Amino acid sequence: MDFNFSPQQRLIRKLAREFAEKEVEPIAADVDKTGKFPRETFEKMVKAGFTGVCTPVEYGGSGGSDIEKVILVSEIARKCAATAGILSIHTIFASVILKFGTEEQKKKYLPKVGKGGCLGAFALTEPNAGSDAGNARTTAIFDPKTNEYVLNGTKCFISGGSQADYLLIFALTQPEKKLKGLSCIIVEKGMKGFSVGRVEDKMGIHGSETAELIFEGCRVPKENLVGKEGKGFNIAMTALDGARIGVAAQALGIAQGAIDLSVKYMHERVQFGKPIAALQGLQWYIADMATKTEAAKWLVYYAAFLDANNMPHTKEAAMAKLNASENARFVTNLALQIHGGYGYMKDYPLERMYRDAKITEIYEGTSEIHKVVISRAVLGR
Ligand code: COS
């Protein structure tokens, strides 16, 4: 067994930490306040090679794996969960194209979502297909006269959907087959018949825009089909296994950031004539926060290790996300408590982190869905 990062991974962690301190932390409160997508920061992440983290060098990426993705996402989430979420979700597009795309699709799209500065998104959810993702109703009917798919329907709660240049849309090419008729199709920003609807007003992760996508007779060339027709659900589930590791990394970073702030505050804040770090009640809080976060970290890295080595990781990704997201809520709650009244004020980052942590228990699969996935694997059902 080897729990050490390679020298390369240590370097990436150092770079990511410096980037988060210099480029992300100073604007995190503003991103939260305005809810504006941090385009400039995204462009800086492009320049730093973060956006193509898992894409091979020959396709314009940085040649890393899920382990490097976890390092980047968790370090950035330490300072701003919204920015980390943007990066994490963006990487799903490339991972799907890499695993299921044609050589032409890889050559066309991977350099663009790597060093090219384009943003990718993943659109599965619909008003009546959330946890029951197989109930999607958006259709993509093939028109043999023009060799195009014609998309009709609405996607909702799509992270980055309003900003994305390229979107993976899951739609029924054979509606009568339901889940088995679902396919994955690339839609490009600006395609006729595709528009962005409502941009949601959320509790947290404000800079990571969440949008409704509307398809009204949107014509997409046949070559934009990813994988085989009817295999869309399997593609979506495979993609979500990786995406869940990204959310787990985001949750891990939020928890680590809340611990950092709590330690600093406990040494500085004096009550009853001594720093509050001397109070045993709060020492026990910190002990619990640190222990649970350390445990969460290794489950996240284990899932990433399996993914990076092409080993089955559905159960482990679900466990990592379930555990890390519950931990992020637990830790931000105690961190806010340690900060007392100051923690509740918008002048301090704790109330933002507390709000941001909540989404990690919901998106890319709720905690309850992860328990379904885990229990099925454990019970062999
Ligand atoms: N990887 C690859 N394929 C998978 C898979 C995985 N992790 N999980 C399931 N599949 C495949 C199955 O093998 C099956 O394929 P075949 O029919 O070819 O054998 C198919 O998908 C259907 O699987 P299953 O019967 O398990 O589907 P269910 O409808 O019972 O759904 C859950 C399973 C609940 C786990 C799934 O719907 C889910 O993850 N829901 C949450 C969706 C979600 O996370 N949404 C968040 C937002 S995404 S924008």
Say yes or no: 82 and 142 in one domain: no
- Give the whole-angstrom CA distance, residue 109 versus residue 64: 18
**Res. 27: pLDDT tops 90:** yes
The domain boundary residue, chosen from 62, 95, 119? 119
Whether the predicted pLDDT of 65 surpasses 90: yes
User: Of the candidates 105, 86, 243, 104, which has an alpha carbon nearest to the alpha carbon of residue 186?
Assistant: 105
pLDDT score, position 381? 81
Report yes or no on 84 lying in a domain: yes
Number of domains in the chain: 3
Q: Please give the number of the atom of ligand 1 that sits closest to the Cα of 243.
A: 48
Residue 139 included in any domain: yes
Alpha carbon 117 to its chain centroid, in Å, reads 18
Of 197, 230, 263, the residue that ends a domain is 230
Hey, which residues does 143 pair with through a beta bridge? 148
Residues 243 and 363 in one domain: yes
Separation in Å, CA 32 to CA 212, 232, 283, 330: 20, 34, 30, 21
**pLDDT tens track for 295-311:** 999 999 999 999 999 99
CATH code, domain carrying 76: 1.10.540.10
* pLDDT per residue as tens digits for the range 228-282: 999 999 999 999 999 999 999 999 999 999 999 999 999 999 999 999 999 999 9
Whether 1 is in a domain gets the answer no
Question: Does 169 share its domain with 243?
Answer: no
Based on the domain organization, do 199 and 220 belong to the same domain? yes
Segment 28-34 mean pLDDT: 97
Q: What predicted TM-score, i.e. pTM, was given to this entire model?
A: 0.97
Quick check: is 332 in a domain? yes
Residue whose CB lies within 8 A of the most ligand 1 atoms, among 233, 322, 381, for a mutation test = 233
Ligand 1 center to 133 CA (angstroms): 8
Ligand 1 contacts (CB < 6 A) are 122, 124-125, 131, 133-134, 233-234, 237-238, 240-241, 314, 364-365, 369, 372-373
- Return the pLDDT at 8: 96
Query: Domain check: are 344 and 304 in the same one?
Result: yes
pLDDT tens-place string over residues 120-170:
999 999 999 999 999 999 999 999 999 999 999 999 999 999 999 999 999
Q: Residue 300 domain-assigned?
A: yes
Helix (H, G, I), strand (E, B) or coil at 19: helix
Residues 73 and 95 in one domain: yes
For the chain, give the percent of residues with pLDDT over 90.
99
Residues 62, 137 within the same domain: no
Domain end, chosen from 207, 230, 253, is at 230
Q: Summarize pLDDT for 201-228 with one digit per residue, the tens.
A: 999 999 999 999 999 999 999 999 999 9
Span from the CA of 234 to the centroid of ligand 1 (angstroms): 7
Task: For residues 89-117, give the mean pLDDT.
Answer: 97
* 331/285 Cα distance (integer angstroms): 9
Average pLDDT, the chain: 97
Q: What is the CATH number of the domain that holds 190?
A: 2.40.110.10
- Centre of ligand 1 from the C-alpha of residue 238, in Å: 8
What is the span of the domain harbouring residue 161? 121-230
Residue 138 lies in a domain: yes
The kind and range of the H/E element at 170 are strand 166-172
Q: Are residues 195 and 132 in the same domain?
A: yes
The verdict on 103 and 153 lying in the same domain is no
Any domain includes 223: yes
Question: In 3D, which of 381, 295, 288, 280 has the Cα closest to residue 333?
Answer: 288
Tokens of 83: 């920015």
Mean pLDDT for 79-94 is 98
Percent of the chain with pLDDT over 70: 100
The CATH number assigned to the domain holding 361 equals 1.20.140.10
Are 143 and 223 in the same domain?
yes
Same domain, 85 and 159: no
The predicted-structure confidence for 359-372, as pLDDT tens digits, reads as follows 999 999 999 999 99
Q: Residue 2 falls within a domain, yes or no? A: no
Q: Give the Cα separation of 13 and 174 in Å (integer).
A: 45
Helix residue ranges per DSSP H, 177-313: 232-268, 280-308
Q: Do 246 and 321 share a domain, yes or no?
A: yes
Report whether pLDDT(1) > 90: no
**CB-based contact 74:255 (threshold 8 Å):** no
